[in-house]
């Protein structure tokens, strides 16, 4: 059923979601049939579990198999959102679609061909919208990203009204560019008439980095980079937002309910930042993980210019070795975003939807990484830092950085 099963990731979530649902007033979702695209991923499976516990008839679809276990009452359909016929069939009799599926967020995915990323993030979203129209779906909640407003300038506790969406042509990476295009498509579809004459209501959620037990995209890579370079990224004064998966589930449920007539469609045609309560420096955020795994948290900080050079080298190495080794480093966009001060406010979601972030820590995430074999013990560590390739890459990195500095 699932490629990775973790009691930390699944059982603990079931315990927490019961408390979460007891505090939420989302009556319009109870008993409804819902579809979650990208439902096999980290956030998707968490949202699907919560919807199921809320009493929904849940269908999830994903190109790959779910990363964790799920209730036998949840229907899983393996498929590609670029298949319009499939998406239309999945939307049959559905009341609300949560469109999460996307591609190109980080690492090697970011370096895929532009047309491929666009075919999923834009083409797939177009398929979802048209399927909603054809199958008379009443609500569509789109999982966008904070990247749609993230350019080269720092900002502090900014609101949605204060941060205009960056034009697609000004984005440095195809993920952000295509997510921006897709968000516009979704919001412009708000108010469209469905095939039987009803109205489709849409909204968008813009999360920052997501964390929680079971997360497999960011944590292991960032732990690795801090171990490799023995230094932190950027400046200790730069901060950003994170969001625990429980809080992101919370925000999606409230936004979906806000699309209903019972809530006067308050969230229709709106975009919301959903974050944890307190912004924090990216590296300091990971300090409990680094020390908890038995490593010494570094004191040094690498300036942005050096980080940019290292990331550029990482991209070169990726292209050189990808035919015979799955090297996943960091891209220049990732390094820049990690070091740039950018924080947003969830005030709009709080005022309009009643969103209030729950207090969450990193204990479950640390336990999950240990369960996967991360830690100082070389016999259980899954790190590649002891490999010959690592030593070669690190040596080349040092040489190139030194040459760049000297020149």
The answer to whether the CB of 125 falls within 8 A of the CB of 186 is yes
167, 155, 109, 119: which is closest to 333 by C-alpha?
109
CA–CA separation, 166 and 172 (whole Å): 11
Residue 243 tokens read as 């969001």
**Helical segments of 40-173, H only:** 42-53, 84-90, 114-118, 124-134
Would you call 175 a catalytic residue per the annotation? yes
Which conformational region is residue 395 in: left (phi greater than 0), alpha (psi within -120 to 50 degrees), or beta?
alpha
Residue 236 tokens read as 């200790």
Q: What are the E-state strand segments in 64-154?
A: 75-78, 96-99, 139-143
CA–CA separation, 48 and 37 (whole Å): 10
Q: How far is CA 344 from the centre of its chain?
A: 16
Which conformational region is residue 136 in: left (phi greater than 0), alpha (psi within -120 to 50 degrees), or beta?
left
Helices 245-258 and 42-53, interaxial angle, to 10°?
60
**Length, in residues, of the chain:** 407
- Residue among 175, 229, 272, 374 flagged as catalytic: 175
CA angle 395, 401, 407 (to 5 degrees): 135
Pairing of strands 232-233, 57-62: unpaired
The answer to whether the CB of 211 falls within 8 A of the CB of 232 is no
Active-site residues: which are they?
175
């Amino acid at each position: 059923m699932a490629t990775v099963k973790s009691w930390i990731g699944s059982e603990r979530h079931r315990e927490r979601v019961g408390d979460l649902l007891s505090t939420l007033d989302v009556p319009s979702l109870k008993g409804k049939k819902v579809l979650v695209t990208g439902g096999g991923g980290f956030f998707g499976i968490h949202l699907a579990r919560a919807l199921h516990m809320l009493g929904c008839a849940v269908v999830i679809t994903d190109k790959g198999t779910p990363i964790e276990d799920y209730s036998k009452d949840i229907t899983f359909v393996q498929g590609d959102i670029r298949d319009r016929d499939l998406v239309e069939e999945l939307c049959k009799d559905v009341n609300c679609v949560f469109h999460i599926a996307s591609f190109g967020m980080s690492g090697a995915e970011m370096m895929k061909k532009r047309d491929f990323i666009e075919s999923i993030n834009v083409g797939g979203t177009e398929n979802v919208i048209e399927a909603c129209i054809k199958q008379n779906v009443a609500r569509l909640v789109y999982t966008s990203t904070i990247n749609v407003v993230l350019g080269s300038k720092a900002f502090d506790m900014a609101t949605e009204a204060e941060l205009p969406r960056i034009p697609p042509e000004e984005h440095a990476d195809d993920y952000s560019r295509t997510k921006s295009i897709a968000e516009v498509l979704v919001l412009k579809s708000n108010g469209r008439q469905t095939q039987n004459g009803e109205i489709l209501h849409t909204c968008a959620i813009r999360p920052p980095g997501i964390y929680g037990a079971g997360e497999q995209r960011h944590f292991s890579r960032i732990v690795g980079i801090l171990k490799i370079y023995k230094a932190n990224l950027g400046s200790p004064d730069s901060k950003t937002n994170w969001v625990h998966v429980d809080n992101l589930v919370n925000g999606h449920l409230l936004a979906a309910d806000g699309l209903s007539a019972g809530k006067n469609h308050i969230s229709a045609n709106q975009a919301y930042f959903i974050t944890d309560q307190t912004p924090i420096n990216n590296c300091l955020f990971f300090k409990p993980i680094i020390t908890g795994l038995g490593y010494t948290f570094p004191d040094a900080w690498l300036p942005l210019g050096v980080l940019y050079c290292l990331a550029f080298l990482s991209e070169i190495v990726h292209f050189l070795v990808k035919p015979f080794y799955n090297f996943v480093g960091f891209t220049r966009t990732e390094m820049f975003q990690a070091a740039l001060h950018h924080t947003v406010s969830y005030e709009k979601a709080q005022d309009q939807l009643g969103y209030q972030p729950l207090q969450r820590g990193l204990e479950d995430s640390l336990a999950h990484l240990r369960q996967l074999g991360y830690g100082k013990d070389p016999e259980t560590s899954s790190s590649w830092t002891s490999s010959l390739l690592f030593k070669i890459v690190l040596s080349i990195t040092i040489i190139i950085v030194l040459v760049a500095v000297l020149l």
